């Protein structure tokens, strides 16, 4: 790529007030992680090789459960793969509910796409079985969309049925606690004041920068009470946030994340963000190319991180380059937003 100057122009970010449920969770109302070990069968020669001893042992144990005794050493099937199955059990899941599962190969299988996951118990950390998983792994369920024909990891939507519920008696509770997603003294106090003002009584107490204790009013059930609490406006402006997934090259940013004046050079690309006053007099169009000086002036009514990512992409910058540029802009202090890399 040629050495180019990109001149982008500033905007004012927009923000909106948020409600309690945006910044806090109800203590005890959460997902539970489940895990299980199983077998995927029916693969067309893409399963585990003979070197995967645990696969052969699992096949032998499975056959013994149906009264067929086979020495694991004599099993040489490449149509079977040993897998780990994981899932999240949502709060208040009931008997018969269906949940999504993720299936990942443990051995040297080339692909598990097209196979069938046999009945697999899914356990929680307490050792109890909370769901049973089973299903066909179709091409459309592959997590690796770039190569769906050969993938050692896949997802089955509604692939497990809930067999055991997590007991949590919410209805009869007199008090309950909120946990802030991020500890902050000011936010805790804002929530306390907003809830007390909403109900015109002192029913919320900030115990620490992350915990607020609530006492439900006598005229409301806990479910009704929390429904109102969740929607309570706390008069708080949420901080802008940028999320970067380095594995997939995905950048997610709010529409109004503004960028302050900055100039940086990345490889053979120079990026310059300047005020409107620095726009050349002869650049009246939205995009003006000064080929003599290798300058590209881009005139925006609004300039955001999303705009910058889009412009860089059009210029041929790779996903990794865009990520590194955004990280550099953040390190230079030109982005007043939280940056999270996953």
Rounded distance between C-alpha atoms, residue 271 and residue 153, angstroms: 39
- Distance separating alpha carbons of residues 188 and 18, to the nearest angstrom: 14
Please name the residue that has the structure tokens 């620095």: 278
Cα–Cα nearest to 105, from 34, 43, 62, 33 = 43
> How many residues are given for the chain?
342
Tokens of 126: 């307490």
CB within 8 A of 141, min separation 6: which ones? 154, 155, 156, 157
Q: What is the pTM of this model?
A: 0.66
The whole-angstrom separation of Cα 59 and Cα 79 is 11
Determine the Cα–Cα distance for residues 42 and 283; give it in Å rounded to an integer: 64
Mean pLDDT per 10-residue interval, the chain, length 342 residues:
47 59 92 95 86 80 80 78 95 96 92 94 96 88 55 92 93 94 91 95 96 96 95 78 74 73 74 61 52 53 71 75 83 78 76
> What domains are defined for the chain?
5-15+240-341 (no CATH), 32-162 (no CATH), 169-237 (3.30.310)
SS3 category, 201: coil
Beta strand 204-208 pairing with 211-215: antiparallel
């Amino acid at each position: 790529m040629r050495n180019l100057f990109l001149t982008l122009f500033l905007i004012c970010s927009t923000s909106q007030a948020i409600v309690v449920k945006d910044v806090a969770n109800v203590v005890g109302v959460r997902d539970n992680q489940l895990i299980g070990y199983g077998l995927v069968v029916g693969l067309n020669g893409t399963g585990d090789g003979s070197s995967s001893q645990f696969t052969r042992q699992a096949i032998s144990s499975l056959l013994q459960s149906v009264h067929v005794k086979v020495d694991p050493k004599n099993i040489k099937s490449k149509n079977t793969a040993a897998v780990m199955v994981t899932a999240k059990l949502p709060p208040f899941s009931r008997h018969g509910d269906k949940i999504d599962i993720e299936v990942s190969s443990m051995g040297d299988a080339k692909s598990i796409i097209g196979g069938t996951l046999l009945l697999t118990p899914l356990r929680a950390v307490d050792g109890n079985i909370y769901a049973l998983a089973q299903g066909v792994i179709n091409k459309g369920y592959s997590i690796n969309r770039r190569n769906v024909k050969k993938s050692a990891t896949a997802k089955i939507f509604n692939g497990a049925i809930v067999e055991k519920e997590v007991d949590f008696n919410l209805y009869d509770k007199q008090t309950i606690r909120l946990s802030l997603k991020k500890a902050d003294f000011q936010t805790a106090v804002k929530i306390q004041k907003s809830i007390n003002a909403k109900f015109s009584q002192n029913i919320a107490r900030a115990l620490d920068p992350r915990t607020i204790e609530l006492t439900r009013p006598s005229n409301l059930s806990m479910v009704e009470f929390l429904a109102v609490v969740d929607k309570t406006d706390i008069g708080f402006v949420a901080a802008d946030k940028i999320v970067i997934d380095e594995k997939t090259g995905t950048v997610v940013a709010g529409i109004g994340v503004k960028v302050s004046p900055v100039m940086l050079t990345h490889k053979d690309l120079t990026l310059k963000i300047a005020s409107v006053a620095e726009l050349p007099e002869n650049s009246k169009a939205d995009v003006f190319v000064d080929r003599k000086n290798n300058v590209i002036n881009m005139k925006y009514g609004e300039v955001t991180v999303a705009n910058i990512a889009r412009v860089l992409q059009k210029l041929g910058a790779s996903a990794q380059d865009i990520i590194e540029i955004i990280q550099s802009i953040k390190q230079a202090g030109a982005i007043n937003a939280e940056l999270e890399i996953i």
